[in-house]
Structures are given as C-alpha cells and as structure tokens.
Amino acid sequence: MKRIIAPSFLASNFLQLNREIEMVNASAAEWLHLDVMDGRFVPNISFGIPVIEQIRKATNKVCDVHLMIVEPDKYIEAFHDAGADNISIHIEACPHLHRSIQLIHSFGMKAGVAVNPHTPINFLQDIIQDIDFVNLMSVNPGFGGQSFIEHTLIKIKELRKMIEDKDLNTLIEIDGGVTQENAKIIFDAGANILVAGSSVFKAENPKQAIVDLLEC
C-alpha cells in the first residue's frame, strides 16, 4: 500500500524557512503539509497565501494545503494561484460539501475532506467516491504538538473498509500526534499518508526521521 510522509511546516523554524524547505526537498518526503488557520474554525491563526506562494517557489514537492477555515470556497482559487496541489477542507465547515469538492477539482487540484476526532466516519459515505483523500484528524485541530488520539486507529480501519467495499483508490491521511513510536501501527491500520510535524522538524536528523517513519 502506498506510503507518503508529509512534514508539517507548522512545526518548522520560520526564521529558517528556506533551510527547512531545502531539507524536505532533499528528503524522502513526497508532500509538504501546510496548515492554514483562521482563528474562527479553530482557536488559532497560522499562515496564509503569501507564505504558501513563497514555499511553492522553493519546492517541486506536492504542496498539501489543509484549510482549517470557515467558508473555504471563497479562497479556493486564491490558494490554487498560490501553488496548492492538494486542498483539504473540513466536513464540519462545509454545508455544501459536494459543491466545494467540485470547485477544488475545477482548478485541477486534488480534493480532500478533513474530519475532526468527534465526527463519525459514516458521514463520508455519500462523498467518499468524489474525493482523492481523507485527512483524518488524530488530534483536535488548531495546535501542533498534541498527542495522538488512540481511537483514531478504529476510525482508520472503518475508513479503509469503506474504501475497499466501494472499490475506490481514496488515500487516508493521518494528521496529528504522529511519532516514530506509533507510525507503524498507524500504517498497519490502513493509512497511506502521515503528516509529521514535531517528529520531523524537532528531530536531531530530520531527513533520517522521515526515512524512519516511512520504513517503520
């Protein structure tokens, strides 16, 4: 099964952003995970379009943009123009989710649906066939450095079964609390993509940490 590591730049050193990008560029990671927070959907504010524009200029890796914002439809085109390859939007923030997914696809980007820890997997039954990946939150969104919520393992297995029962190629992305200690059990449960923040950027050897996560 496909495995991808997506270092989360929320945990990077913004005073040394170019150096951090160069490290990821030279690593085994395929994606860069970019968290956008608005202070409304989540109780925090991160970075936005200008930062993503600069990161896009410095990398050929997939820019995986996670929108933790209300009314994401207003900004889909702007994030596309900034260089996003993937956009995930929250099921909890989108009253017209199918329309929002169509909008992301209309710009040629991969579309994902992010799901908070309290949201049941069966809420994806009628949209799973229309999306490229599910961003399954394994912490409560808004802050880095949180511990992995163990119940997420059950949700991964439920989601993997849903995907296989429908004979789909939808990928499962796990976002939050990923470490060297739990990466194997997360992959074994059925995940494809691990978003890793502190476990990469705070590691003594970040490039080796990415390899270790992939090969766990």
Distance CA 187, CA 6 (A): 14
Whether 212 sits among the annotated catalytic residues: the reply is no
Known catalytic membership, residue 175: yes
Q: Which of 38, 64, 132, 175 is catalytic?
A: 175
Q: Which residue, 95, 189, 92, 196, is CA-closest to 144?
A: 196
Task: Tell me the torsion sign for CA atoms 76, 174, 40, 118.
Answer: positive
Question: Could you tell me the strand order of the sheet in which 193-196 lies?
Answer: 4-7, 193-196, 171-175, 133-137, 110-115, 86-90, 62-68, 31-37
Residue type, 102: Q
- The catalytic position among 35, 38, 64, 132 is 35
Binding-site residues from annotation for a divalent metal cation: 33, 35, 66, 175
Sign for the pseudo-dihedral over CA of 200, 203, 205, 209: negative
Residue 198's SS3 state is: helix
Binding-site residue positions for substrate: 8, 66, 142-145, 175-177, 197-198
Separation of CA 127 from chain center:
18
DSSP string, 158-184: HHHHHHHHTT---EEEEES---TTTHH
Question: Which residues are catalytic, by number?
Answer: 35, 175
